[in-house]
Structure 1
Amino acid sequence: MSNPLKGRGALSNPANRFAPSHSDIDPVEDGEMPVRIATVQINERPKTIISRNQSPDVPFEQSINPYRGCEHGCIYCFARPSHAYWDLSPGLDFETHIIVKEGAAERLELELRARNYRCRPITLGANTDPYQPLEQHRRITRGLLEVLARFRHPFTIITKGALISRDLDILGPMAEQGLCSVMVSMTTLDPQLKRTLEPRAAGPQTRLSAIGALTGAGVPVGVLLAPLIPMINDRELEAMLEASAKAGAGSAGYVFIRLPLEVADLFREWLDCHYPERAEHVMSLIQQSRNGAAYDSRFGTRMRGQGLFAEMIAQRFRLACNKFGLRADRRSALRTDLFSVPPQAGDQLSLL
């Protein structure tokens, strides 16, 4: 069995599903694995920045992901398999080889100025976190927000990164115009579980503080329990909702754990390492809720699961939302009528 690396979620670097061979960590001279792995930044100049979505399971049509891969290292992350498209592993590569979208703000401005562009809210962080540690100095997300603010374009942010509080000077005024909302992802209130489940993400109390800061700035905030994992964090469902409501959250949603493609084996490896005595039980409950498999990709069930255990989670969620005064699965409606393309150098001014 692989041993955990400090600050990393995955325990191995398995081959992606497209590559006949794969790279692995070189052992040091005494035959042991390194204690740490440094983060590698890979710069990319994207040809497009706005992604379009037609899934009936998500409440947005447009999204932007400033980074590919995520240093937070969440072992359960459904986005891990996307690293295979860059000939990288969904395992340790996903959290140590981060693709940074240089020039994202400039690319966004070009797309918003296109004559055929139709304004619809944009979600930042649909796949990977826009406020992961690299954002502190790369400021790709900050640049995107500055463009959205100049165009008065509506957006929603999904994050578990406390760095979002840095951008209150943009988020507050945008929220005042009905152009901004935030969903803060919560997975546990237990710092020890957080350290293994999502090692480089902000701690639970820090996230609750971020909810309070956002609410204090007038930003509509919801909490997203994502994912809920049987026998790992599902017992905290009510406690997380109560703490989030007290911090200022006004709405809530949840996602039952998703284990597509390579994520299933990576998650099982994590279970065997950290919770060997309950690994079989956890996987059994997941399979009971996923039509007998580790994952069921069908629309309508992939976010919630099905069966007795999944229905029990749904009932507990509804009851807790009612108890703590949270709107269930309803995000704040954002305005699109304020969208305006600002003039730029060389534009001919109207005589009217």
Structure 2
Amino acid sequence: MTTIAVALISGGLDSLLAARIVQSQGFEVVGLHVRLPVYPHTARAFRGAAALGIPMAARTIRDDYFQLLRAPTHGFGRGANPCLDCRAYMLRMAKELMEEIGAAFVISGEVLGQRSFSQRRRDLLIVAHMAGLQDRVLRPLSAKRLPPTVMERQGLVDRSKLYDLAGRSRRPLRALARMYELRFVPEAAGGCVLTEKLFAPRVLDLVDHELSAGVWDLRLLTVGRHFRINQEAKLVLGRNAGENDALRRLFELSPRKEQVLCVVPHNFRGPEGLFVGIVSDDALMRGLALLRRYITKDLPDRLQFQVFRQHPPFRRLVTTTKELTALPEILAL
């Protein structure tokens, strides 16, 4: 009977190589992609799995993920990135799938020293223990620089056919991709936006102001311009038609429908927006004045906005003048 292993597939070259190396030793590999709103590479992950000929599962993070942002056990990196806690979270999801399908171990594409905050030797060992996997996480690309896993000690995995890569260079990875004849070699792409310093203020603002935040809020953080109107409410504005559509979809999916207002220009074209929180009349008018800042085209003398909420049902046509209102204290997050 063929032994099964679960491979975390991010969509990057590292994870595809790790899965292929284990696959070459005769194991049945099942891929798992963990969907994160802040890491939009699901399509690449599925394309890579298809090229390897392995079945693929995808699971989306749950609302409990937000606790990692609220109080990460191992702190943040340079941005609002709780990398160690996040990696342990993904490994726990892999462990769940491993137990469901009767797999023997989990495969990770991590390379020792590739990321200074989360891929030191100590860090790799810590996240495996945090996930309850102990020495059942195999990292084929750096295995020879790490303690042998139980699979290697028992002879289930041939350690001599694993690798000892370390550091940030992609040259050895590309060489392995040629050696293993990978049919899909993804180019380096942007990583998790939580690592970006300019994104961190949005995350920290959400942590400070929304006790019940979850996956929906994390998705919202990746769209549009964000403004803190007051302690109870913030406004998100679309920057183009695509983001306007994204905000509409998020409005429909909101888990706190009584605290989300949608704003759509009625007699002119401009950005659409979502108010999130408890929106007073003053906050509403300040937000509409803020929206006016981002319109450069000719406008009617009186601007009309459709403002509506799903539950309890609410719809209102709000009219303002087109003159700009000074709002120096409202800054973009």
TM-score w.r.t. length of structure 2 = 0.27
Greater relative contact order, per chain length (Cα 8 Å cut-off, separation 6+): 1
Larger Rg: 2
Query: What TM-score results when the alignment is normalised by the length of structure 1?
Result: 0.26
